[in-house]
Amino acid sequence: MTPQHEGSGAAGLKRVLSWREGAGFTIAAVLGSGILVLPALTANLAGPGSLLAWAIMAILIVPLAWVLGRLAAAYPHAGGIAEFVRQAFGARLGRLTGLLYIATVPMGAPVAALIGAAYLGAAIGLPHAGVMAAAAAMLFLSILLNVLGVEFSGRTIVFVVIGISLILLLGVVTAIPHLRLANFSPWLPHGIWPVGKDVALLFWAFVGWEMLAHMTEEFKNPARDVMRAMFVAMVVVDLLYLSAAVATVGTHTYGPGRTANALADLVGLTLGRSGEILVGILGWLISYGTIHTYVAGFSRLVYAEARIGNLPRWLHQLHPRRRTPTRILWLHAVPWTIVMLWTYLSGVSLATLIAWPSAVFIVLYILAMASGFRLLDPLQERVLAAIGVLVSFGALLFLGWTMLYPGAVLLLGAIFWRRHSVMPAHGGPDDPSPCDQ
């Protein structure tokens, strides 16, 4: 049963997006800051065998992305996975799913910003304080441009994605003369286990498909354009990621101390210092694309949760002309400021910051795939959803202690709402969320 699409009319979110903007948002969400460090980071762990992890994820991500696309087309709702879970399993689990998403906000965007700023810093010689300032500027800009409206935001992200693709193609093409067959041997220098750890780590590189779901209320024709956008994004992301991973291993531009500026090193093999500066500047823009999309998606999630009463109602208000959740957008600055200050003062590692939101996203994908298994009708799509559940559980085995983070979020959320049962239980499988009007 398709839910009512509350708030999507004249007084709600604007229906102005096409498949092009949808593909742009999705590619930017998936193919973002991870491409700057993960080819080198995975090679550090597993050597040339890391390519096996990339190939596995490129294949296994297809059912995940396909099921998310089909759910988004069938249930165009700003709540995204939280709404899918609500429709499949009821309001309580849907509410906790929304809370899990919100728990990724404090670390997810600052991680992307710090990666991009580190690239810029390495290219132009910024001190540590300068890198932090560049990251903070990226976060502020992402809020500002999203406040200006979804039409402006959509056009911006299309241009950012074109820039991302050109950067990666430049890096791969210029690396071809430097590829050496000897760099692919030994294939598994540290055994097979690090390949499994790489697969779990690569969830950070391949998450982002779900962000399209939060934008579906703003599509002109979600039933037609959502799957078209998802298919284009899958093809582009898989090709560019695999190309970058092969180039990194084949040129051996990885190793201790080289992860933070691996893409710059790759392009610098041929273009020298000018290539490193170019990649440093554009690396900042690559990370911006991811943050831009996540800010748009998370603001819609919080808006949708407030609309049905799971969060304070004052978060439900939209800008009277642009129809954007302006209050929510500016509120992003609060947790980001806290995390940025903590990072600056404590010196916590980037790998640690990546691991925490990655753990949450794996749990979210399990919930999304389980919802797809229950909600989608054709047998083929339920099979894809079942494969998606298995893939996500497989990655779960390699999380280690980071699994405590999503577990703690779910536990604390369940305890809080059990003791403070004041919020309405809208949006179960047979109880669509009430219209906003």
What is the rounded average pLDDT of the residues 355-373?
Answer: 84
369 within some domain: yes
434 within some domain: no
250 within some domain: yes
Tell me which residue of 106, 104, 112 sits closest to 360, measured CA to CA: 104
Q: What is the pLDDT of residue 6?
A: 42
223 within some domain: yes
Q: What is the pLDDT of residue 258?
A: 64
Helix (H, G, I), strand (E, B) or coil at 77: coil
Helix (H, G, I), strand (E, B) or coil at 281: helix
203 within some domain: yes
Helix (H, G, I), strand (E, B) or coil at 431: strand
Measured CA to CA, the distance from residue 92 to residue 286 in angstroms comes to 37
Measured CA to CA, the distance from residue 107 to residue 337 in angstroms comes to 11
What is the rounded average pLDDT of the residues 288-303?
Answer: 84
Helix (H, G, I), strand (E, B) or coil at 14: coil
Structural domain range at position 80:
19-419
Measured CA to CA, the distance from residue 263 to residue 354 in angstroms comes to 18
Q: Does the pLDDT value for residue 420 go beyond 80?
A: no
Q: What is the pTM of this model?
A: 0.77
325 within some domain: yes
If one counts every other C-beta atom within 10 angstroms of the C-beta of residue 159, the result is 12
Range in 51-60, 259-268, 423-432 with the lowest mean pLDDT: 423-432
Q: What is the pLDDT of residue 351?
A: 61
Q: What is the pLDDT of residue 371?
A: 93
Q: What is the pLDDT of residue 9?
A: 42
Q: Does the pLDDT value for residue 303 go beyond 50?
A: yes
**CATH number of the domain where residue 223 is located:** 1.20.1740.10
Q: Does the pLDDT value for residue 310 go beyond 90?
A: no
279 within some domain: yes
Q: What is the pLDDT of residue 349?
A: 63
CA angle in degrees (0–180, nearest 5) for 129-114-338? 75
Task: Name which residue leads in pLDDT, 151 or 40.
Answer: 40
Total structural domains in the chain?
A: 1
8 Å CB contact between 243 and 172: yes
Which residues, 6 or more positions from 292, have their beta carbon under 8 angstroms from its beta carbon?
A: 28, 142, 145, 146, 153, 156, 157, 160
What is the rounded average pLDDT of the residues 258-280?
Answer: 72
Q: What is the pLDDT of residue 421?
A: 53
Most confident of 80-84, 196-200, 422-426: 80-84
Q: Does the pLDDT value for residue 437 go beyond 50?
A: no
63 within some domain: yes
Q: What is the pLDDT of residue 398?
A: 66
Q: Does the pLDDT value for residue 72 go beyond 80?
A: yes
Structure-block tokens of residue 324: 């954007």
Task: Name which residue leads in pLDDT, 18 or 399.
Answer: 18
User: Average per-residue pLDDT in the chain?
Assistant: 78
| DSSP character string of 189-237 | TT-SHHHHHHHHHTHHHHTTTTHHHHTGGGBSSHHHHHHHHHHHHHHHH
Range in 142-146, 245-249, 277-281, 323-327 with the lowest mean pLDDT: 277-281
What is the rounded average pLDDT of the residues 286-298?
Answer: 83
